[in-house]
Amino acid sequence: MRSTFLTLLLAMLPAAVGAQREPAVAHQTLPRDVRREVAERWNGTNALRDSSRVEIAEGREVAGNVAVQHGPLIIAGHVTGSVLALNADVLLRPSARIDGELLVVGGDVDGRTTARVDGAIRIYREAMLYREESGRIVPTDDEISQDENWWRRLEHRHEGNWNEALRVVQAGPYNRVEGLPIELGPALARRTPWGSLRLDAGAIVRTGSSFSSDRGDFGHAIRGEVRVGRNRGIGIGAQAQNVVDPVESWQMSDIEVALASFLARRDYRDYYQRHGGGGFVTLYGARDVSLTSSFGEERWSSRARRNPFTLFNDNREWRENPVVDEGLFHVASTELKFDTRSNPDDPLAGWYLNANFEHGRGTILSGAPTSSDPRAIGHAGVTDYSRGFFDFRRYNRLGPDAQLNMRVVLGGWLNGDPLPLERRLSVDGPGALPGFGFRSVQPGVDVGTCNVGIGAPGRPAECDRIALAQIEYRGDLSIDFTGDWNDWPRHYHSARGDVQWVFFADAGRGWLVGAPTGTLTYDRSTLPSLSTFRSDIGIGLDFAGIGVYCAKAVSTPEPVNFFVRLKHRF
């Protein structure tokens, strides 16, 4: 209906062209840089410039820019450049194609959902005041002092042009080896006709202890990337870093780890230091898919725990941060991500896949002690390994009020020498098998961390391989605890009901690869029997994304565990 109306309106407009010359606005509040841009475009080189009704018929190609004032401008053909409509409406037929940008000032655009515009579409409804001098236009600056307002700055940011002389951001979650890592430094982003570039350079300050450079309280993260292609293309970048990274980050989110550390003095991750640099190549542009390959040379080393401030339990000892294999590594990795979830934080439906392959080669100068593999006294020398990690999820909507979600995680050693401890895995704690205590000493073989007995200090993840399956059913309780029962549409604070009940079940384990022994070490081509897997079930209530759960192990006798998650379990 709107399209029909506008079409009829446009058909009548040629007779009323002159009326647009004096827009009915009292003041010129159009941003000044927009006025300048309009004047530059109009006064610049144009393949087609007109001050009346213009129609570019289907099949016609205009090689260059088009500028029209008063209009209307009707496009059914192909414009290889950009289009400017000044105090004019634009009608785009389905066959219309614009290779550049479309800028409309003092008008509206119809048909933009069916036509093809490769560049950005910018529409300023407010008419522009100007005068004409010998075919050129000169903006009427009746508010010369107007500064660029935040809308324009927001628009610039959206266009990808911004810089900050000193950006202060958090470089990672609060943790027991760094405290709060803070990154300070400049950042720059520029969008160019051929693509974009970005540079971030930051010094990292760690608040964990004494701010002494020889104690590792300072680091750095420098990253630059050049992207060729405006909407899709290839990105090439380089980075140099001296950062503290988690050994495993897939189980719980940063915010959960940070809050557990800061509030309860419980750190659910282990950490090591990465110092080095490298390059990367990424393919971007597809909405749901990304592919990134990288290569770097890094020196990995252990980090001792500090004693950062916590709000509660300050008389409790932090868990040791395990020692890792120290040495110089050359690491090549490729990561594929496929994500069609409706909302990553609160998915109703969709697929998620994160597949990572890594090949590492290097020299271990100091091997870390482990409890459960033959190199328990440490391993040094040249190492060459391959590792894969695969996280696959499916979110299913059964109906408006019900959901069934599934996840499979497989990861670990693929080929070569044993994995360094930085690349070992575990299925332990609230992020994986919440029915079992995190890093708790288990009788017999601990298939959660692959530790034997009391294990190495800090009970590091020692598994060569892991397998984990999770399933959960979510149902709305239709309880509106913050709003009016009679209110409609519903008035709540997440993408679904206020409160959901959740039933879940998990099964998983880790194992070592080698000469088969007992129920911990298996041949490279053997999957452990399902009867050896840990399993648990649980229920919980999800209050708009914040879940309170209890879980009970079913494979072995364990007490019931209660836990809180600030995001969905997966």
Partner 1 sequence: MAPLVAPLPAQRNGVQLDVKIDTANAGIAGPTITTANLLADPNTRELLRAGFATKVTYRLELWRKGGVFEDLHDRTEWDVYVQYDPTKQLYNVVRRQDRQFENFGGSSTVTTAEMQFGGPYRAPLHPNRSGKFYYFLTVEVQPMLESDLDALLQWTRGPTAPGKSSPLNSIRGGVGRLLSRVLGGDKQHYEARTRVFSIP
Identify residues 194-213 at the interface with partner 1 (CB under 8 A).
Answer: 200, 202
Q: How far is the CB of 262 from partner 1 (least distance, A)?
A: 6
Part of the chain binding partner 1 (CB under 8 A), chosen from 109-117, 270-278, 461-469, 518-526 = 109-117
Q: How far is the CB of 3 from partner 1 (least distance, A)?
A: 8
Q: What is the CA radius of gyration of the chain?
A: 30
CA 185/CA 241 separation, integer angstroms: 14
139 lies in the site for partner 1, by CB under 8 A? no
Of 130, 100, 133, whose CA–CA distance to 30 is shortest? Answer: 130
254 lies in the site for partner 1, by CB under 8 A? yes
Q: How far is the CB of 350 from partner 1 (least distance, A)?
A: 6
Q: How far is the CB of 175 from partner 1 (least distance, A)?
A: 11
Nearer to partner 1, 88 or 512 (CB): 88
Residues 6+ apart with CB under 8 A from 249: 269
Question: Of how many residues is the chain composed?
Answer: 570
The residue type found at 38 is: V
Residue 37: strand, helix, or coil: helix
Among 234, 328, 336, 349, binds partner 1 (CB under 8 A): 349
Among 154, 228, 286, 530, binds partner 1 (CB under 8 A): 154
Of 84, 137, 131, 130, whose CA–CA distance to 109 is shortest? Answer: 84
Among 21, 190, 220, 223, binds partner 1 (CB under 8 A): 223
Number of H helices, E strands in the chain: 4, 32
Q: How far is the CB of 274 from partner 1 (least distance, A)?
A: 14
170 lies in the site for partner 1, by CB under 8 A? yes
Among 382, 495, 527, 530, binds partner 1 (CB under 8 A): 495
Among 126, 141, 245, 401, binds partner 1 (CB under 8 A): 126
494 lies in the site for partner 1, by CB under 8 A? yes
Q: State the DSSP code for 127.
A: P
285 lies in the site for partner 1, by CB under 8 A? no
Strand 116-117 with 90-92, pairing: unpaired
The residue type found at 340 is: T
HEC readout, 302-342:
ECCCCCCCCCCCCCCCCCCCCCCCEEEEEEEEEEEEEECCC
151 lies in the site for partner 1, by CB under 8 A? yes
221 lies in the site for partner 1, by CB under 8 A? yes
Q: Dihedral sign, CA of 481, 484, 488, 492?
A: negative
Q: Which residue has the tokens 């003095």?
A: 265
Among 36, 60, 125, 136, binds partner 1 (CB under 8 A): 125
Part of the chain binding partner 1 (CB under 8 A), chosen from 255-263, 422-430, 448-456, 532-540 = 255-263
Of 202, 207, 163, whose CA–CA distance to 183 is shortest? Answer: 202
The tokens of 139 are what? Answer: 């903006």
Part of the chain binding partner 1 (CB under 8 A), chosen from 373-381, 469-477, 488-496, 509-517 = 488-496
Q: How far is the CB of 88 from partner 1 (least distance, A)?
A: 16
Part of the chain binding partner 1 (CB under 8 A), chosen from 64-72, 132-140, 343-351, 407-415 = 343-351
Q: Dihedral sign, CA of 122, 123, 127, 132?
A: positive
192 lies in the site for partner 1, by CB under 8 A? no
> Which of the residues 353 through 412 are near partner 1 (CB under 8 A)?
396-400, 404
Among 19, 29, 307, 316, binds partner 1 (CB under 8 A): 29
Nearer to partner 1, 2 or 454 (CB): 2
**Binding pattern for the stretch 523-552 against partner 1, x by CB under 8 A and - elsewhere:** --------------------xxxx------
Nearer to partner 1, 2 or 135 (CB): 2
Part of the chain binding partner 1 (CB under 8 A), chosen from 44-52, 265-273, 348-356, 555-563 = 348-356
CA 439/CA 82 separation, integer angstroms: 61
168 lies in the site for partner 1, by CB under 8 A? yes
The residues that bridge with 132 in the sheet, in sequence order, are 137
99 lies in the site for partner 1, by CB under 8 A? no
**What are the φ and ψ backbone dihedral angles of 6, each rounded to 5 degrees?**
-70, -35
Rounded to the nearest angstrom, the gap between the alpha carbon of residue 422 and the centroid of all alpha carbons in its chain is 23
Among 21, 97, 153, 330, binds partner 1 (CB under 8 A): 153
Q: How far is the CB of 346 from partner 1 (least distance, A)?
A: 10
Among 2, 59, 144, 443, binds partner 1 (CB under 8 A): 2
> Which of the residues 417 through 456 are near partner 1 (CB under 8 A)?
none
The tokens of 467 are what? Answer: 């397998």
CA 72/CA 111 separation, integer angstroms: 14
Nearer to partner 1, 147 or 523 (CB): 147
The residues that bridge with 366 in the sheet, in sequence order, are 326
In terms of C-beta density within 10 A (0-12 exposed, 13-18 middle, 19 or more buried), how is residue 412 classed? Answer: buried
> Which of the residues 289 through 328 are near partner 1 (CB under 8 A)?
none
Q: How far is the CB of 152 from partner 1 (least distance, A)?
A: 9
Residue 480: strand, helix, or coil: coil
Cis peptide before 72 (omega within 30 of 0): yes
Q: How far is the CB of 493 from partner 1 (least distance, A)?
A: 5
116 lies in the site for partner 1, by CB under 8 A? no
Q: Dihedral sign, CA of 443, 448, 452, 453?
A: negative
Count, residues near partner 1 per rule CB under 8 A: 76
> Which of the residues 39 through 98 are near partner 1 (CB under 8 A)?
none
Of 395, 391, 385, 386, whose CA–CA distance to 355 is shortest? Answer: 391
Rounded to the nearest angstrom, the gap between the alpha carbon of residue 365 and the centroid of all alpha carbons in its chain is 35
387 in Cβ contact with 422 (< 8 Å): no
Part of the chain binding partner 1 (CB under 8 A), chosen from 43-51, 121-129, 457-465, 505-513 = 121-129
Buried b (16+ CB within 10 A) or exposed e, 482-520: eeeeeeeeeebebebbbbbebebbbbbbbbbbbeeeeeb
162 lies in the site for partner 1, by CB under 8 A? yes
164 lies in the site for partner 1, by CB under 8 A? yes
Nearer to partner 1, 378 or 400 (CB): 400
